[in-house]
A and B are shown apart, each in its own frame.
Chain A
């Protein structure tokens, strides 16, 4: 499986994503934000970081960079797109996912391990997990407080487009387990066709036993399973 990992000025998790993809058996390649085209690929990943210094709004500048036109086109033709952390913010600003990510309710940058409940295991991103499975991965962000208008939230729930929720280690939603105040404890969402996934936590940083666990590896194995 070939994966294109987009790199913006200020991206800082692209190497982590590439290592995670390699661990799962994929062949990742870096693509610079100024490139207007993306070579033939099975997957596009928009990694985390602080693209363009988070100027204006997180992800707003990156969403309009040349490469995002190519991402939009490939996505429209069905190429799966994964956005992690700042990548999630960019996909929202680019209109590939609905809603908005606001300042954390605590007003603090939160960097810690969280537990996520897998809400759907039928996607290219999550097929190696069981529905309802609880995984432990880190978060590191200041603006991950997901919100959307009531109609969008209802649609996400009705169509099963919530991919992950912040939960306690026992798998229950709980305000103490929600690191940023996200509405309905939403940690990650799909687009209508489940070919785009955006999430604030970093599964790529839970793929090496020396880094505190390997629960995130399932996402990259899912992609390799589905797109090999």
Chain B
């Protein structure tokens, strides 16, 4: 199965990269971008065939390594 993981900064955590990208966009003339938040996207190819087990495993991976849950939240999708 394939898993996709989005890791993003939690709401309220300052995102200087996102802010800088937002400034660059407005500098290029793209109006109306209220804010930009930057994150990471990971694709995992899993041997597991059970969807629930795969999701539980990937969530454990997020807690232990893929996300820093002090400042980041994550979202897992299994396909």
Task: Indicate which residue in A93, A103, A107 contacts B68 across the interface (CB closer than 8 Å).
Answer: A93
CB-defined contacts of B14 to chain A, threshold 8 Å: 102, 105, 147, 181
Q: Which residues of chain A have C-beta atoms less than 8 A from B16's C-beta?
A: 102-107, 145, 181
Which chain B residues border A148 with CB–CB below 8 Å? 70
Chain B residue, CB-CB nearest to A60: B65
Cβ contact within 8 Å between B20 and A147 = no
CA distance A60 to B71 in the complex (A): 14
C-alpha gap A148/B10 in the complex (Å): 12
Q: Tell me the number of A-to-B contacts counted with CB atoms below 8 Å.
A: 35
CA gap between A149 and B17 in the complex, in Å? 20
Interface size class of B (residues with CB under 8 A): 10 to 19
Asked if B70 and A60 sit within 8 Å, CB to CB, the answer is no
Q: Are A56 and B17 in contact (CB under 8 A)?
A: no
Residues of B within 8 A of A145 (CB): 16
Is A227 at the interface (CB under 8 A from chain B)?
no
Instruction: Tell me if B44 is interfacial: C-beta within 8 Å of chain A.
Output: no
- Would you call A57 an interface residue if the criterion is a C-beta within 8 Å of the partner chain's C-beta atoms? yes
Instruction: Kindly provide the distance from the CB of A115 to the nearest chain B CB, expressed in whole angstroms.
Output: 23
Is A107 touching B13 in the complex (CB atoms < 8 A)?
A: no
Listed in ascending order, the chain B residues whose CB lies under 8 Å from chain A are 13-14, 16-17, 20, 64-66, 68, 70-71
Nearest first, the 3 A-B pairs at minimum CB distance are A100-B70, A100-B71, A107-B16
